[in-house]
Structure formats: structure tokens, C-alpha cells
Amino acid sequence: MADLIRELDELEAGAEAEIEAAATPAELESVRIRLLGRKDGRITAILRRLGELAPEDRPAVGARANEVKKAVQDRLEARSEVLAGRSEVEREVDLTLPARPAWSGGRHPVSLVVDEICEIFARYGFTRVRGPEAETDWYNFVALNTPLDHPAADMADTFYLDDGVLLRSHTSPVQIRTMQAYDPPVRVVVPGLVFRRDTWDASHAPAFEQIEGLAVDEGITFVDLKATLSEFARQFFGPSTRARFRPSFFPFTEPSAEVDVSCTICGGSGCSACKGTGWIEIMGAGMVDPNVFESVGYDPERYTGWAFGMGPGRIAMLRYGIPDIRLLYDSDMRFLEQF
């Protein structure tokens, strides 16, 4: 009797591992036959030997045998459900295929350019600041030496909201807000979205990113402007880059200049990227007009300063060879995941 009870204990313990090891419904079926089969199943064999026992021992062994049989049946059933579930998934996908690499997102090419510009100017002591996108016409035009009837106010005609509030046509109102909030010395870079009533085409967008900078202190001259912006061009475009300053006009700077850099593609000998000139225009700059200082309460006899503004979208197009500005706004993953 003790022999049969021990055999049943071992069988129950071993059956668990055997059942869990079955990887397919077919394997599980052969485990079932081995354990419970009517002809040669191990439990069946034990039950057959009950006849060899003394009659008083039979009920205890029989009860134990039925207990083990029930436990094995329950385990087989549970395993069978697990395998059925898995094979359903296996029919849908090949689980042995390597996982597809998922794109976890990235930074937009314009944001990359903005961050890089801000990092370079941070080394020169410029702080990154932001301001509102909806402005009053005073901040957007008047304080920047552009009376509302001045042609320059038309040039930058933007989208008007209510009561003299408009979508800013440049980031320059943030210069005014910064100077109102802080006394000199001031050194800031201002990235942000600006708005123009431009037609949507390959090189124009009605909303685009701009970044500008402002430096104000006692004794600042045009030499500081040229030196800083030339050094910026070398840092951003490469050490052999040259910068050129052409006279220009902006209402809020005097004198004003357009800043060109030697073509990054041909190095200055002329190619299609620079339209054969060897130069590429990257920004406008100039010495802050004394009238601008007066509108924020700075003493123009004591302080001088310079400012620049550029379009990071255009610079991203140059840097990455992007042919159409609309690609920057399409949110097409096939385009964006290249950066």
C-alpha cells in the first residue's frame, strides 16, 4: 500500500513539470495519454493494481488515486487553454521576427537650428527670452521707431485682431519688453513665431520662426556688432566662413546692414545655391536707433547697442538642403525622422 501511495505522490509531482513543458496542443495530448490513457496511462496502471491490495487498504489508495487524477486533469485543462490562446496569436504574427525599431520622435530641424544659435550666443553672455505672439501695435511698430503711417508698417502688414492688437510681425517687440523690464547692460536672444500676410509658396509662409538678438551697454560700437556676428558665422557655418555687411535700411536700427556669409556649398566661387554670387544672405542687423531707446526710457546719450534678426527656417533649409519651406510645416514623419 505504501508503495502505491508513494508512486501516486511522485506521479503528481512529476506531472506538473511534464504538463507545463508541453509547447503545443499535440505535445499536451501525448502527455495526457501518458498519464491518463485508458490502456497504458500511469494512473490507469496504478488503479488496476488496487486488486492486489488487502481489501481494507483499497479505499485509501483509491481515494488518493482519484485525487491525483483530478489534479492532473485540471492542470491539463489549464495548460490547454494557455496553448490555445498562444496559438491564436501565433496565427496572426510570427513571434520569431525581430521587433521593428520604433521612432521615438525627434526635434524639428528648425528647433535644432534655433537651439544651436541660442547655445552659441549663450557663450557670448546672451540670455534666451520669449514674449507674447499677440501684441499691441505700439510694441510691434511705434516703439520700434515705425509710426503706423510709415511704409515699413505696410511692408510687414500682419493679421489684426481687435483694438490695435495684432499677431506680431517680428520678434522685436520682445526687445522693447526686455528693455522696459531691465536696465542695461542687456544681452538677449529672442526666438519665436512671427506672422506675415505672405502667400503660402515654396519660400514663403504666413507664420514662421524668427530669432533676434539685442546687446545694449555703454560704449558699444559697430565694431562689436561686426566682430560678434562674424564670429557667430564661423561658429555656426564653419571656421573658414567669411561674413560681409551691406548697407541696408530698417526703421529700428541706424546704420543698418544685411549680413551675408560666404557660400557654405562652394566656399565663395559661385554655385546654384548662392545663385553664382558666392554669398548667402542670412540676417539683418544694425545699431539700435536712439528713438527706440527713448521709447523705453533708456538715455540714448549714455547707451548704445546693436541688434540682429534672422529666419531659422531659411537657415535650416540652407543647412539641410531642404528645397521647399512647406516641408517644415507638413508634419510628415517621413521627412521629420531624417533629422
Establish if 271 lies at the interface with Zn ion (CB under 5 A). Answer: yes
d(CA 124, CA 164): 37
Nearest distance from C-beta of residue 326 to Zn ion, angstroms: 24
Compute how many residues bind Zn ion; rule: CB under 5 A. Answer: 6
Nearest distance from C-beta of residue 259 to Zn ion, angstroms: 16
Establish if 282 lies at the interface with Zn ion (CB under 5 A). Answer: no
d(CA 19, CA 206): 68
Of 36 and 265, the one with the shorter C-beta distance to Zn ion is 265
- On whether the CB atoms of residues 19 and 28 are closer than 8 A, the answer is yes
Task: Give residue number: closest CB to Zn ion.
Answer: 263
Which residue, 156, 151, 145, 139, is CA-closest to 195?
A: 156
Nearest distance from C-beta of residue 299 to Zn ion, angstroms: 45
Of 63 and 273, the one with the shorter C-beta distance to Zn ion is 273
Residues in 104-133 that interact with Zn ion by CB under 5 A: none
Nearest distance from C-beta of residue 242 to Zn ion, angstroms: 13
Chosen residue from 47, 71, 142, 266 binding Zn ion by CB under 5 A: 266
Of 62 and 278, the one with the shorter C-beta distance to Zn ion is 278
Of 165 and 271, the one with the shorter C-beta distance to Zn ion is 271
Residues in 74-103 that interact with Zn ion by CB under 5 A: none
Nearest distance from C-beta of residue 280 to Zn ion, angstroms: 7
Give, as one character, the DSSP assignment of residue 211: E
Residue type, 229: L
Neighbour-count burial for 160-195, b at 16+ CB within 10 Å, e otherwise: eeeeeebbbbbbbbbbbbbbeeeebebbbbbbbebb
Task: Using CB atoms within 10 Å of the CB of residue 43, give its burial: 0 to 12 exposed, 13 to 18 middle, 19+ buried.
Answer: buried
Nearest distance from C-beta of residue 266 to Zn ion, angstroms: 3
Of 121 and 236, the one with the shorter C-beta distance to Zn ion is 236
Chosen residue from 186, 229, 263, 283 binding Zn ion by CB under 5 A: 263
Chosen residue from 15, 274, 282, 328 binding Zn ion by CB under 5 A: 274
Nearest distance from C-beta of residue 112 to Zn ion, angstroms: 23
Nearest distance from C-beta of residue 323 to Zn ion, angstroms: 15
Taking contact as CB under 5 A, which single stretch among the options 55-63, 144-152, 270-278, 327-335 is the one that binds Zn ion?
Answer: 270-278
Chosen residue from 71, 152, 265, 336 binding Zn ion by CB under 5 A: 265
Backbone angles phi, psi at 333, to 5 degrees: -60, -35
Residue in the structure block whose three cell numbers are 548662392? 274
Give, as one character, the DSSP assignment of residue 99: P
Taking contact as CB under 5 A, which single stretch among the options 198-206, 239-247, 260-268, 303-311 is the one that binds Zn ion?
Answer: 260-268
Nearest distance from C-beta of residue 120 to Zn ion, angstroms: 23
Of 229 and 263, the one with the shorter C-beta distance to Zn ion is 263
Distances in whole angstroms, Cα of residue 119 to Cα of each of 20, 115, 127, 187, 224: 59, 6, 10, 14, 19
Residue type, 322: I
d(CA 224, CA 273): 30
d(CA 49, CA 70): 19
SS3 label, residue 282: strand
- On whether the CB atoms of residues 35 and 43 are closer than 8 A, the answer is yes
d(CA 259, CA 264): 14
Establish if 281 lies at the interface with Zn ion (CB under 5 A). Answer: no
Of 4 and 318, the one with the shorter C-beta distance to Zn ion is 318
The residues binding Zn ion (CB under 5 A) are: 263, 265-266, 271, 273-274
